Amino acid sequence: MSATTAGATWRVVIAEDDPDIRALVSIAVKRAGLDLVAEAVDGGAAFEAVARLHPDLAVLDVSMPTMTGLEVCRAVRADPTLDTVRLILLSAGVDDHAKALGLAAGADEYYIKPFSPKALAARLTDLMEDSK
């Protein structure tokens, strides 16, 4: 993608129905130096934003109204024009089964809440650096 090859920062869509956590994720994204292009409050809006904006990364909550994070992942992976979008799932589910389901739905990474904003920011920075 031109956005990354040009040395410009990643464009990121985040989706989370809980406003406080959404704010926490957006802080982590900003601290990692990424470009937050859209914040969605439900799964439907998240997919719509991803499909419209073609971001480099989407950070999605698993449990959301209208579409779950898993459904958004599947929908994105079903669309060939979106195959460069990296997907990160954030979940309050704890067991390994939930993680396996998330990865099977097409997510690249799966994090369990509660997450450390600092650690998430560091991980996002790493991801972006690695892809260059």
Partner 1 sequence: MTTSVRAYARAMKRLSVDAPVIKQLPTFIAFTAALFLSLGFRSALVTNLFSLTLATVVMLGATVLAAHYSRLSRPSRWFLLVPGISMLAIALLRYATGGTTSLFASLIILPVVWISAQPGRRWVGVAVLGASAALLLPYLIDLRWPDTPSEWLRGVFTPVVYGLAAVVVNELSRQGRRQVRAVRRLALEGEKLLAESLKVAGQLQENEVQLRAADRLTRSVLDGVTEQSVIGSDLTGLIDVWNPGAREMLGLTSREVQGRRYVSEFHLPEELDERSRELNYPPGATVLNPGFSALVESARLGRAEVRDWTYVRHDGARLTVSVAVTPRVDDNGETIGYIFVGTDVTHALEVARLKDEFVGLISHELRTPLSSILGYLELMRDDDESPLSVEQLQYLGVAERNAHRLLRLVGDLLFTAQVSSGKFPLTISQVMLGETISAAVLSATPGAVAAGVELITELPADELMVRGDAVRLGQACDNLISNAIKFTPRGGRVTVSLEHRGGEAVVVIRDTGIGIPESELDQLYARFFRASTATRNAVPGVGLGLTITKAIVTAHGGELDVESEEGVGTAFIMALPLPQVAVAS
Residues that bind partner 1 (CB under 8 A): 18, 20-21, 24, 27, 63, 92-97, 113-118
The 3-state DSSP class for residue 47 equals helix
CB of residue 28 to partner 1, shortest distance in Å: 9
Nearer to partner 1 (CB atom), residue 10 or residue 111? 111
Nearer to partner 1 (CB atom), residue 54 or residue 99? 99
CB of residue 5 to partner 1, shortest distance in Å: 32
Nearer to partner 1 (CB atom), residue 26 or residue 76? 26
Which tokens is 125 given?
């920075």
How far apart are the C-alpha atoms of 122 and 96, rounded to whole Å? 24
Residues 6 or more apart from 129 whose CB is under 8 A from it? Answer: none
- DSSP letter at 11 equals E
Q: How many CB atoms lie within 10 A of CB 87?
A: 23
CB of residue 95 to partner 1, shortest distance in Å: 5
Orientation angle between helical segments 96-104 and 69-77, nearest 10 degrees: 30
CB of residue 8 to partner 1, shortest distance in Å: 26
Nearer to partner 1 (CB atom), residue 106 or residue 117? 117
